[in-house]
Amino acid sequence: MIRLGIIGTGRIARRFVPEALCVEGLTVTAVYNPHKGSAERFVQAVCREMEVLGTDDPDAFWDLVDAVYIASPHETHADYIQKSLDRNKHVLCEKPLALKRADAEACFFYAKEKGFVLMEGIKTAYCPGYRKVLELVGSGMIGEIRYIDSCFTKLEKAENRELTDIKYGGSFTELGSYVMLPIFDLVDGSGDPAFSSVYDGKGIDLFTRVSIGGAGYIASAECGLGVKSEGRLLIGGTKGFIKVGAPWWKTSRIEVHFEDESKTLHFDEPFEGDGLRYEIAAFTDLIRYGKSDVADSRSKERSIWMAALMEQFLTGREADRQQTSVRGGR
């Protein structure tokens, strides 16, 4: 039985606990938050009738776990990954795994050196419906991929961290990993990304679009926390297109369209609970079968690529703020 510890006590950690209970071979044994009392309150509220330690003592936490799930604020992920590997623990880290390319590369290098699993938790990547989409594209059914458009928006409460954290909050750091996922998986994301955003008065992006033009394809990804749009995924090919309706990141209903609409195909795939169980099961399997590697041959490269995108976006956003500040001071 794998003893799993949770670092962080926010909303995603609350959803994680019941999803972990659906995966065989794993049990939650400890929760850590450096802020005194936070982990204890989390355990009382979420881990009822479970023998789980809530603590702000890192040594007590490490002694009770074989693996960790990192659900702390984005900017702390890389540091907690390093500390977890120092303690010889397998690591499942919430997206984004890192906010800089060099940090992601260092984390994966260290995981390989130590011989422990490091995996980024992007639940959509492991759900049956999304895997079906990759299978359909790989079959050649819609021909060569020439266009991808993915969108994920939700209206976040103004008082939540995502819209109050000036440095690390905003739409792209929160949702960008999802919308960029199919672009990497289907066309490698090989191209120079162009970002455009709608900002609030604090300089936090309420809506961001990323456009990438690569060798023979055009891709667009949109994400928003303060602007609502249709959360679909559209994959256009030379023989047809695939459409996954909103919310596409909970992939279940898949349509394959052709020039002759009478040949349209429909596929229904399961998406159980909150979907986190799929990534947890993939993580558990890696540990169980002794693979000191990431979940598949490309997921390491995908995580590094996404960290580089985060770095580029944050650098550009700060530059936009500086320009706005200069104009406002004139």
State yes or no: is 95 an active-site residue: yes
Rg (CA), the chain: 20
- Among candidate residues 235, 257, 230, 265, the one with its CA nearest the CA of residue 245: 230
Residues 6+ apart with CB under 8 A from 135: none
Distance separating alpha carbons of residues 288 and 280, to the nearest angstrom? 12
The size of the chain, in residues, is 330
SS3 of 214, please? strand
Catalytic residue of the set 36, 83, 89, 95: 95
The three-point CA angle 48-51-57 to 5° equals 105
β-bridge mates for residue 199, sequence order: 205
Q: Three-state DSSP class for 305?
A: helix
Burial (Cβ within 10 Å: 0-12, 13-18, ≥19) of residue 289 = exposed
**Catalytic site positions:** 95
